[in-house]
Amino acid sequence: MNKSNEQSIKILLADDSNIVREILTDILEEKYTISFAGDGEEALQKYKEFDPDVIILDLHMPSIGGLEVIEYLRNDFQDQNVYLLVVTGETSFKLKKEALNKGANDYLIKPYNSEELLARVGVAERQIKLQKQLQQAFSEIEKEIEMLGEIQSRLLPRKKLDQMDIDVQSYFKPSGRASGDFFDYFAIGDSLVRTAVADVSGHGARAAFLMGVIRSMIRMTQKNYLDISSLVNDMNEYLTEIVGLDFDFVTLFIADLDLSTQNMEYINAGHCPALIKTRESNILALEPTTHVLGVKEEMNTLSTSINLSPPWKLFIYTDGIYEWKLSTGEFMDQDDFLEYAKNIFLNSRSFLDNLLHFLETLTPNKQFRDDVTALLLQKD
């Protein structure tokens, strides 16, 4: 008999003996919602239909035995939450050990006292309720992280730089709902464009918070101008105050593109080498010019200058774009990626689309393991 109590713990009794099922029902039905299965195959079917919190399981049943049921639930169905209480007449320690190793939560030997059975089920009930509370808490956290990710997406630049005849292409793919990656570009006055790509170590809310700090400090310079050397030094000082002795750090590539002087000032703080191609140069990889931010209090970084005579292209990215496994089983490294990128860089105006398409051809099931950001600015 099943009790119609929505809030009660649901128990599936899996035993081939009608007498045993009746005894168990008499003991448990006053407090719990009960369903039955006469063998292992029926137990797996009832598991799908009834969605029990607890399965009280005999080991010796027709068609599929109890040990096989445990294996199906833990391995094939990947259910680590349902509580499995083995109730059996087997006294073999070897069998008990095997059942527990396969994923049973508890093991009760017949004959048993009804009070002991209720006590064992009570343990299961407390664990299940705690588990549901944790799942609810994680669900709330996931919602908060999802909201954080939505806010992050709004912080990314939406306006293009058409008024300066600069074509902008971007790609942004967080590994989760919130990201430690960041990119930005904006005009300062009539002829200066500031652009940046940053990568905060780690993932989730902590990385997203630090990303927000980086973004705010950079974006404030649109109205309150600060040269990039002073800005990077201030950012490093502020980050070391926030991070302290923790292991968080930030890599950053930031540049000022001066269209009137055809000059670019940039700082690479431990970031991936950006690629640049101008009318007067071959493709250059702009390697780090200083260390990552947030690990050393002392920092006196100066920018580096490079000619920006059009037509030019500037490609900035984070390491998530190449840190994934190839179809050969090996991982792509930065040098391989740069070689691929340089070849496409020379021959394609739709560089970013073609680069991403090419990466997909290297392995059909490519899964980015990290946040991915890619930004291309180009001017004819």
Strand pairing report for 181-188 and 10-14: unpaired
Residues 33 and 167: their CA atoms lie apart, in Å, by: 64
Q: Which tokens sit at 232? A: 């990077």
Cβ neighbour number for residue 379 with a 10 Å cutoff = 19
Distances (CA, A) of 360 to 68, 131, 334, 350, 371: 41, 40, 17, 16, 16
In the chain, DSSP assigns E strands to 10-14, 33-37, 54-57, 83-88, 106-109, 167-173, 181-188, 192-200, 250-258, 263-269, 274-277, 284-286, 304-307, 312-317, 372-379
Q: What is the pLDDT of residues 144-163, one digit of tens each?
A: 666 666 666 676 787 888 88
Q: Which helix (H) or strand (E) holds 121?
A: helix 114-155
Sequence length of the chain is 380
The residues near 205 (Cβ < 8 Å, ≥ 6 apart) are 144, 145, 148, 178
Could you report the per-residue pLDDT of 46-96, keeping only the tens digit for each?
999 999 999 999 999 988 999 999 999 999 999 999 999 999 988 899 999
Is the pTM higher than 0.75? The answer reads: no
The pLDDT of residue 4 is 43
HEC per residue, 327-358: CCCCECCHHHHHHHHHHHHHHCCCHHHHHHHH
Domains contained in the chain, CATH given = 10-137 (3.40.50.2300), 156-379 (3.60.40.10)
pLDDT tier at 1, thresholds 50, 70, 90: very low
Q: Is the pLDDT of residue 142 over 80?
A: no
Taking only the tens place, the pLDDT of each residue in 319-337 is 888 877 777 777 788 888 8
Total Cβ atoms within 10 A of residue 50 = 19
Condensed to tens digits (0 to 9), the pLDDT of residues 167-203 reads 999 988 876 566 678 899 999 999 999 999 999 887 6
